[in-house]
Structure 1
Amino acid sequence: MTAHPLVALERCTVSFTRRTAGGTATSKAVDDLNWALHAGEHWAIIGPNGAGKSTLLRLIRGEQRPDQQAGGSVTWFMDGTAETTPLAIRRHIAIVSSEMQEHYVRQQWQLSGEELLLTGWFDSPLLYEKPTDEQREEALQLACTLGVQHLLDMHLPAMSQGQLRKLLVARALVNGPCILVLDEVCEGLDTASRAEVLEIVDRAAGLGASVLFASHRLQELPACTTHAMLLRAGHIAAQGPVADVAATAGEVALFEDSVDTHAPMPRIADRQYGATPIFELDKATVFINRVPVLHDISWCVRPGENWAVCGSNGAGKSTLLRLLMGDERQAWGGTVRWFGESQPDMNVVRRRIGYVSDRFQATYGHDGYHGTLMDLSGEELVWSGFFASVGLWDWQTVTDEHRQTASDWMRYMGLAEYAGQRIRDMSYGRLRRFMLCRAMAPAPEILLLDEPCSGLDPASREHFLATLRRLAGNGVQMLYVTHYASELIPEITHMLSLENGHVSACGPREQASTRMAEHSGQETS
C-alpha cells in the first residue's frame, strides 16, 4: 500500500436545486463525504437509488466539483504528488457505463472494434487522431490479454450488447488507467455476457487498475472486490471489507429506504378485452444498416395475453419492441398490424402504449454523453407521457387531471420530493423510476418493457414488480423483456424466445419455457 492514496475526498458536499410549489429548494446529493482509495483496493459502491453513487463517481473522475462554500476538496496522487486539477488526472481514470454504451448504439457510428479500442488512447468518442504503430500494437496485445481480439474486425452496429460492453471495458484499459470506474456495467446483459464481463474486470484488476464497481445487484460483484461502501441519502452508512458490509443485512434490507411501500397505488380502471389482436406480425423482417436483425417473424398478441420476450444479447428483442413502437419498419413483403390496422396513425398508437427501454431513456439525453440535453424536471418528463412525446412542446396542454395523475404516480414511486429536480441532475436509477411513471400514468392498454428494472435497487425492483402484478390484474397487458427469471411475474401467460433474429420458441408460458430450456439451457421460468 502506498504512502498516499490514489484519490482522497475530504468533506465533499454536492448540492442541486429543484423546483417546488413555493419556489426552489436545495438538496444534497452527497453530504460531507470523507473517503480514500489506495492502490490494490477494489471497491463495490452500493446503495439505493438516489443515494449519491453516481455523484461520488463523478467526483472521483473530476467531472463534478464539490460545493466550494462547504470547503470540500478532492485530491489525486496518481504520480505520488498531490494534484487538485481534474484535467491533469483525467487520463488516469477511465469509465464504462450503460449510458456510454447507449450513446454509441444510438449514434450508429460505423466504427470497427479496433477503431473503438484505439479511441481509448485519446479519451474521445471517435478516432480524431492517428494512433502510432506502438499504440496499435499495445492495443492489440491488450485485446488478446482480455480475450476480445475476435471483436476488432466487427463493426459496432453488428455487435451484441454483451460484445460491445466487453470492448468498452477494453477501451477503458488501453491507456493504462490507475482507476477503472464501472457504473452498472452488467445491466442489460444475459447470463453468459455478465460472466464474461466480470471475468474481464478481474483481468483488469490483475493488470494493476483499482476497480470501482457501482451496482445494485450484490450477487454480480467481480471476484476481485476487496472493499464495499454503502451510501444512504448522500452519507457513507458503512464501509470496509466487502464481506463485512454485505453481512450487515440482507440485500433488500441494504436498500430498503428507496421507496415508500405504504404509499397508495393510483386508481386503475378495469379494462374490458375486445376481440381484435393488439399486435399481429406476418413474415416481418427488419434490416438495420442493411443487416437483417429480425427474420420472418410471425407472431400475434391477443387480448388478455402477457408475454415475456427472451433471448441472449443480440437476439433481436429490443428491435422487436422498437418495431412495435413504429421506430423500426419491416421490410417489403412483411406486415405488421397495430390494434387491427396495418397503416395506423402512429401518434395515436403510441398513446395507447407505455414504453420503457434504455434506448428510449437515452433520447432524453440526461447524462452528458448526448448533445441534445433537455432541461426538463421529473414531473415534466412524466407529463410528456400523456402526449407520447419526447419532451414537452408549446402546443401541448397539460391539464389539471394530468398533473394530479402524474403526482399520484410519483408519490407512489417514492419520487414526490424530486418532481422539480432536473433530469440532468438525476442518477440513472432515479431517472428510470420517473420513466416508469411516465409509462404508467397515461393508463396505457399495453406496456412494452425492455429491461425495465435496469438501474433499480432491490427494493425498487420488488415494488415495481408488485405494481405490474396489480396492473395485470386490472387488465393492462404487457410485453416484458428481461434476462432475469426472477423478474417474470406469475401473470406472464406466454413466452417468445428469439435466437439470432429467429423465433426459437413461442406459446403458453409452461410449454414455451420447457422448449426453451431443452433447446438452449438458458435461464427461464
Structure 2
Amino acid sequence: MKHSTSSGEDRKKKPFITLHHVSLRAPAGIVFEDTNWGIHSGEQWAVLGPNGSGKSDLLKGLLGKVPVVSGSIVYHFPDGESLDSESVSPGRIREMVACVSQEYGKAPPVQGSGFYQARWSSFSDDDPLQVSEYILRQPPDPLGLVRRRFTPDQLLARAEEFSAILRLEDLWNKKLIALSDGELRRVMIAEALVKGPVVLILENPFAGLDDENKTRLRDTIPKAVAEGTTLILVTARADEVIDSVTHVLLVNDHRVIAKGPKDEILRGFSSETSLKSARPEVHGKRLAAAAESDREIVLQFTDVNVSYDGNPILDGVDWEVRKGEHWALLGPNGAGKTTLLSLILGDNPQAYANRISLFGRPRGSGETIWEIKARVGWVSPELHLYYPRRFSCFDVVCSGFFDSIGLHRRASDDQRRSAESLLEDMGIEDLGEKGFNAVSYGEQRLVLLARALVKRPPLLVLDEPCQGVDGPHRDRFLELVNELGNRGDTTIIFVTHVREELPWVLTHALLLRRGRVFRKGPIDEVLSR
C-alpha cells in the first residue's frame, strides 16, 4: 500500500520510517505489541536495553526480517514514495536502510563458511573477495531497477575517503576471511558509510575495537550525519550512546518502555546497575600469583613466528604461562592477539612449524586437534560467528563437553546436571530450551560463555568474552571467572580492549604491538607503564 507524504511538511522533520500500532511475530511469540515510533530527519536514535529485551527482534522488524502481524511500518523514500510493510520489497528497504550487525550484516564470504578453522587456511586458498572489492561492491541489478546514489567514480572517491578516516589502507588488499573481529567490524561500517544510506543501523559498533579505533569511529559518525544519514545505534550499554545521538528508545521485555530526547531518557536508565560481587576483597589490588617454583608450565612459546605472503603477523614471540597464573592478552586491533590464540587452540596450521608446547607436550608430537581442545575451553567472536544456529541453547552448552561445533551426541546425565547448574549460576537458566537462533546476540554470547566453562577446563581462553553482554550479566560472568581462577585448577587467558572488564583474578599481562612482545610481566606493572 502506498502512503502519501504532505508536501507542506517541514523538511527538517521529514519522516523516514514510521511504526503505526505495530506488533511483530518473533520466535518468542508476538512482541512489541501496539508499538508507535517515528524516525525523522535530523534525529539520531539509540535503541537501548539489556540482553533479551527485544532489541534484535525490533531490528529484524525494521529490516523486514520478521512479519508484522498488526499495524504497519511505513518507509518514506527520498523520491517521495511511501510504502508500508505489506507492499515494500526487501530490495527497496536495502536502498534506504543499511545495517551493520554481526548477526544480520555479515560479509558474504564469512557467513556460512564451512568450518571454524577456515580463516587460518584461507591464505593459501583462491578466495577472490578482498576488502576493497567488498567496500566497492554494488548489488546485482540486471534489470536496471536499483536506484544508485553514486557513480562508480564517486563511490571510489568515498571509499578512499572513509578508508582513510577509519585507517583501513593497510587492509585494502587483505581477504575478508583473514580479518580479525575488530578489523571486520571497521570494514563493514566503512562499506555502509560509503553507500551513503538514508538510515544507518549500527548494532554494537564498538565491540572488538581498541580505544584508538573507538575514538576514530566516534569521530566518523558525525560526518555521515552531516551528509543527511539518520543513525540508529543499537546497544546494551549506556556508555556507548555517542554524543551525536539525540533520542533514545528504551526497550525491555519486548516492549518500548520509554522514548524521547536522550538526556531525559538516560537519566532514568538503570540496566547497567551491577550485581553484587562475591569475589574476595582486594582493596584495589589484584590477586597475587602463587609462588613460581615447582609449578607446571601450561603453555610455552619459544621464538614463535607467523607470516603470510611475506608479512610478519607474529615476530619472535617468547611466552611462558605456569599453572596458577592468569594472563591478560592485550594490544590494539591487528597486534596479533587472535593469531596467537589460534596457535594455542590448534586451529592455525603454522602452529606445527613453531616451538610451542601445551601442558608439556610439544605441538606436532602426534596429538590430534581434539586432544588439544579436550583440555581447553574457549570463546571468541569467530566462534560466535561460525556456530550453527539450529541447536537449542542447552545443546550449545553441552557441546562444550565434546569440543564440537554443534552437539552430535547425547550428553550424560551428570553432564546435563552440570550444564543446568552452570546456567543457574549465570542467571540464564530460562534460555536452556530456547533455540540458539531465537535469542538475542548478547544472550547467544552468554550461552557460548557457558559452553566454555561447562567442563571446567585446565586452560580457559576468553577472547573478547563480554562483547554484546549487558552490565549485570557481564558482572556475574566476571564473578564466575574470578571464582574459577581462585580455585587454582584452571589457568585463564583473557583478551579485551576494555580495561574495566579485566577480572581481578588476573595476575600477569602480555602486551603485543605489531606482532611483537612489547611488554609482559605482573599485570599491575604492565598496566601502570
Match of 2:65 in 1: 63
1:119-518 map, 5 Å:
119=137, 121-122=138-139, 135-146=151-162, 148=164, 151=168, 153-156=172-175, 162-250=182-270, 252-253=272-273, 275-288=295-308, 291-330=311-350, 334-342=354-362, 343=365, 344-366=367-389, 375-393=390-408, 396-475=409-488, 476-514=490-528, 517=529
Contact 1:353–1:446 (CA under 8 A) maintained in structure 2: yes
Match of 1:114 in 2: 132
**In structure 1, C-alpha distance between the alignment counterparts of 2:432 and 2:503, rounded to whole Å:** 29
C-alpha change, 1:483 and 1:27, in structure 2 (3 Å) is same
Choose from 40, 43, 60 the match for 1:41: 43
**In structure 2, C-alpha distance between the alignment counterparts of 1:249 and 1:116, rounded to whole Å:** 38
Contact 1:101–1:165 (CA under 8 A) maintained in structure 2: no
**In structure 1, C-alpha distance between the alignment counterparts of 2:326 and 2:194, rounded to whole Å:** 45
Q: Secondary structure at the match of 1:72?
A: strand
Contact 1:260–1:414 (CA under 8 A) maintained in structure 2: no
**In structure 2, C-alpha distance between the alignment counterparts of 1:311 and 1:422, rounded to whole Å:** 35
Match of 1:369 in 2: none
Contact 1:110–1:156 (CA under 8 A) maintained in structure 2: yes
The CA deviation at 1:454 is 0.4
Q: Secondary structure at the match of 1:6?
A: strand
Match of 2:83 in 1: 83
**In structure 1, C-alpha distance between the alignment counterparts of 2:76 and 2:163, rounded to whole Å:** 31
Match of 1:22 in 2: none
Match of 2:17 in 1: 7
The CA deviation at 1:409 is 1.4
Contact 1:148–1:166 (CA under 8 A) maintained in structure 2: no
The CA deviation at 1:290 is 5.7
Instruction: Name the amino acid aligned to 1:49.
Output: N
Q: Secondary structure at the match of 1:83?
A: strand
**In structure 2, C-alpha distance between the alignment counterparts of 1:335 and 1:459, rounded to whole Å:** 41
The CA deviation at 1:415 is 2.1
**In structure 2, C-alpha distance between the alignment counterparts of 1:163 and 1:361, rounded to whole Å:** 16
Instruction: Name the amino acid aligned to 2:153.
Output: E
The CA deviation at 1:450 is 0.4
Moved more, 383-392 or 32-41: 32-41
Q: Secondary structure at the match of 1:278?
A: strand
How many equivalent pairs are there? 475
C-alpha change, 1:160 and 1:261, in structure 2 (3 Å) is closer
The CA deviation at 1:386 is 0.5
**In structure 2, C-alpha distance between the alignment counterparts of 1:433 and 1:288, rounded to whole Å:** 33
C-alpha change, 1:363 and 1:341, in structure 2 (3 Å) is same
Q: Render the CA deviation track for 1:388-407: whole Å, top value 9, x for unaligned.
A: 111122xx331111111111
Q: Render the CA deviation track for 1:419-465: whole Å, top value 9, x for unaligned.
A: 12111222110000000111111111121000100010111111111
Q: Secondary structure at the match of 1:510?
A: helix
Match of 2:73 in 1: 74
**In structure 1, C-alpha distance between the alignment counterparts of 2:185 and 2:201, rounded to whole Å:** 14
**In structure 1, C-alpha distance between the alignment counterparts of 2:341 and 2:180, rounded to whole Å:** 16
The CA deviation at 1:291 is 3.8
Contact 1:165–1:197 (CA under 8 A) maintained in structure 2: no
Contact 2:25–2:66 (CA under 8 A) maintained in structure 1: no
The CA deviation at 1:310 is 0.5
TM-score by length of 2: 0.82
**In structure 2, C-alpha distance between the alignment counterparts of 1:141 and 1:102, rounded to whole Å:** 22
TM-score by length of 1: 0.83
C-alpha change, 1:440 and 1:32, in structure 2 (3 Å) is farther
Instruction: Show structure 1 runs of 5+ residues with no match.
Output: 18-25, 125-130, 263-270, 367-374, 518-525
C-alpha change, 1:243 and 1:133, in structure 2 (3 Å) is closer
**In structure 1, C-alpha distance between the alignment counterparts of 2:277 and 2:296, rounded to whole Å:** 37
**In structure 1, C-alpha distance between the alignment counterparts of 2:54 and 2:150, rounded to whole Å:** 40
Instruction: Name the amino acid aligned to 1:383.
Output: C
Instruction: Name the amino acid aligned to 1:380.
Output: D
**In structure 1, C-alpha distance between the alignment counterparts of 2:102 and 2:308, rounded to whole Å:** 21
RMSD: 3.0
**In structure 2, C-alpha distance between the alignment counterparts of 1:444 and 1:11, rounded to whole Å:** 50
**In structure 1, C-alpha distance between the alignment counterparts of 2:412 and 2:456, rounded to whole Å:** 15
Instruction: Name the amino acid aligned to 1:73.
Output: S
